[in-house]
Structure 1
Amino acid sequence: MSSTTSSTATSIRRREAAGRTLRRIPGWLLVAVLLIVVVYPLFWLLMGSFKTQAEFLTSPTWAFPESWTNFDNYIEAFTTGNLGTYIRNSILATIPALFFTIVFGVAAGFALEVMVWKGRGTILLLFLAGIMVPGQMILLPLFTIYFQTGLTGSLWPLIITYTAIGLPLTVFMMATYFRGVPREIFEAATLDGAGILRSFWSIGFPLVKNAIFTVALVQFFFIWNDLLIALTFTNRDDLRTIQVGLLNFTGQFGQIQYGPTFAAICVNVFGTLVIYLFLNQRVMKGLTAGSVKG
C-alpha cells in the first residue's frame, strides 16, 4: 500500500511539472520571437558593416561577411564621411544643453514643489502646457529669431532649442520626485539655520540624485537622436550632428557604397546601446526614487 501511494504521488508530481512546462511554452515562444525581432536587426546591421561592396551586390542579405576583420568601412566612414566631426558636434551640442536642462529643471522643480510662494501652481501648469506644444510649430519662428540675432552658423541654436524643449518635462518630473521627499527634512534643515540655497544643494539635490540621473539619461537620448531640429539649424557640413551626418551619408554614397553607411550607423547605434546597458541599473533606481522615506 505504501509503495502504491508513493508511486501515485510521484506520478501526480510529474504530471503537474509537465503541465507547468506546457503552460510556460507560449511565454518562452513569445520571448524568443521578441528576442529575434530585437537582436536580429542589430546583428544584420553589424554584418553589413564588415561586407565589401561586391558582397552587397552578389550575396544574399542574410549571408555572413567573408571577413570579420575588414575595418575598411569604418575607416572610410571616419575619413571620407567625416563621422568624427559629426560625433564631435553632437557632443558639443548635447553636453551643454543637457547641463542647462538639468540645472534649471531641478532648480525649478525644487522651487515649485518645496518652496511655498504665491502662484507656484500656475507656473507649474505653464510648464506642463509647454509639453503639449509640438516642436515642429516653433522651428520656423526660432530660425527667424536666430537669424536676426546672428546665432546661425554656430551650435548655439541647437543648445538653446534643446534646453527649451527639454525643460517642461524635466521640471514636471523633478517636481514629482521632490513631492516624495518628506517635508520634515527641509524643516529640520531650516531650524538648523540652512538657507534656501543650502537646502537645495546639500539636501534636496543629493536626495533626488538617482531621479536626476534618470531624467538626464532620458534627455540625453532625446537630444542625441534628434534629427529634425539639427537638420533645421545646421546650415554647414562642419556643424552637422551625427544624425544629420548619417542622413548625409545616404545622400553622399546613395545606393552605391553601403559598407561605410552601415559602419557609421553601427557606431551610432551600438555606442548609445552600450551607454544604456551600462547605466541601466541606475535608471531602475531613478524610476523608484520618488518613494523616499523619512
Structure 2
Amino acid sequence: MTATFTDRSPRLISFVRRIPVWIIVGILLVVVVYPLFWLLTGSLKTQEEFLNNPTWALPEDWTNFSNYVEAWTTGNLGVYIRNSVLAVVPALFFTIVFGVAAGFALEVMVWKGRGPVLLAFLAGIMIPGQMILLPLFTIYFRAGLTGSLWPLIITYTAIGLPLTVFMMATYFRSVPREIFEAATLDGANIFRMFWTIGFPLVRNAIFTVALVQFFFIWNDLLIALTFTTRDDLRTIQVGLLNFTGQFGQIQYGPTFAAIAVNVIGTLAIYLFLNQRVMKGLTAGSVKG
C-alpha cells in the first residue's frame, strides 16, 4: 500500500499543480469565447427578442439569417467592405514593398548615413497620427483627392512605413552576414541578393508585419472618418459607426450581423496565417 501511494504521489502532485493553470485557462476561454458566442447568437435574434427577452437569452430560431441579408442590402455592408478592401490592399502592398526594401538597404547594405536614416524612421513612429490629420486633409482637399480613396491609401502607407522599416531591419539583422558575403563572392549583385536570398529568408517575418499592418488599417476609424466625405466611400469601421442611424431606430439584429461579419472575417485571416505569424515573431529573436 505504501509503495502504491509513493508511486502515485508524483502524479497527484502534478495534477494538483495544474489545477490553477486550468482554472486560469478556463476563465480566459470564457472571457474570449463568450463575447463572440453572444455576438453570433445576437445576430440571429429578431427585434422583438431583443426588446422582450433578457440579453443572455438564446435566439428562438437558429436559422434566422434575415439580419445578415438586411445588413448587406439595406445597410450597404457590401459597399463598406469593398471600400475597406480597396483601401487596405494597395496600402498594404506599398507598405510591405517599400518597408522590406528599406529594411534591407538599412541593415544589409553598407553606405554612409544609414544610421541617421534609420533614426529618422524611428522618429516617425513617435509622431501621433492625430497631429497630421488636419494638414493632410488640407493638402488632399487642395489636390482634389477628397472624393476618392487615395487619401486613405497614401496616409495608411505613410503611417505604416516607419514601424515596417524598423521591424524588417530587425529581421534582416538576424540573417547571418556570411550568406550575403558568399553571394557577393559568387558574383551576385545587390538586387539578386535581395530577391533570391534576403526576401525568402524573411518571408515569415513579412507575413507577421503584413498582418500587423492589416489589422491597423482594417480597424482604423479616425483616419477613415476624417478623409471619407461621402457614404459610398466609407470603410467598414465608419459604416458600422453610422449603421444604426440608417433604420430610423436601433435595429439590433442587423447591427449585430454586420459586426459579426467584420469580426469573423478578420479572425479567419488571423487563424489562416497563425503559424507563419508565430514563426515570424521568433525569427528576429536569435541571431545566427
TM over 0.5: yes
Output the CA distance in 2 between the equivalents of 1:223 and 1:53: 32
Contact map agreement 1:182 1:292 (CA 8 A) in 2: no
Determine the structure 2 residue equivalent to 1:20.
14
In structure 2, what is the Cα distance between the partners aligned to 1:185 and 1:15?
Answer: 53
Deviations 1:125-162 (A, max 9, x none): 00000000111111111001111111111000000000
Using the alignment, how far apart are the partners of 1:142 and 1:174 within structure 2?
Answer: 27
Q: Which amino acid aligns with 2:253?
A: G
Unaligned runs of 5+ in 2: none
Question: Equivalent residue for 1:199?
Answer: 193
1:35-93 per-residue CA deviation (whole Å, 9 max, x = no partner) reads 11111000000011000011001111111101111111000001000000000000000
The 5-angstrom pairing of residues 1-294 of structure 1 reads 7-253=1-247, 255-290=249-284
Report deviation, 1:225: 0.6
Are the equivalent residues in 2 in contact too, given 1:181–1:292 (CA < 8 A)? no
TM-score w.r.t. the length of structure 2 is 0.97
| Paired residues of 2:173 and 2:287 also in contact (CA < 8 A) | no
1:292 offset after TM fit, Å?
A: 7.4
- Find the structure with the greater CA-based Rg: 1
Q: C-alpha separation between the residues in 2 aligned to 1:212 and 1:201?
A: 13
The alignment of Structure 1 onto Structure 2 pairs a total of residues equal to 288
Partner secondary structure for residue 63 of structure 1: coil
Counterparts of 2:71 and 2:65, CA distance in 1 = 10
Instruction: State the shift of 1:186 in Å.
Output: 1.2
User: Amino acid of the residue matched to residue 167 of structure 1?
Assistant: L
SS in 2 for 1:10: helix
Conserved in 1, the CA contact under 8 Å of 2:244 and 2:250? no
**Percent identity among equivalent residues?**
83
CA contact (8 A) 1:106 1:171 kept: yes
* Residue matched to 1:4: none
The residue type paired with residue 149 of structure 2 is L
**Alpha-carbon displacement from aligned partner over 1:189-229 (angstroms, at most 9, x marks no partner):** 12222111111111111111111111011111111111111
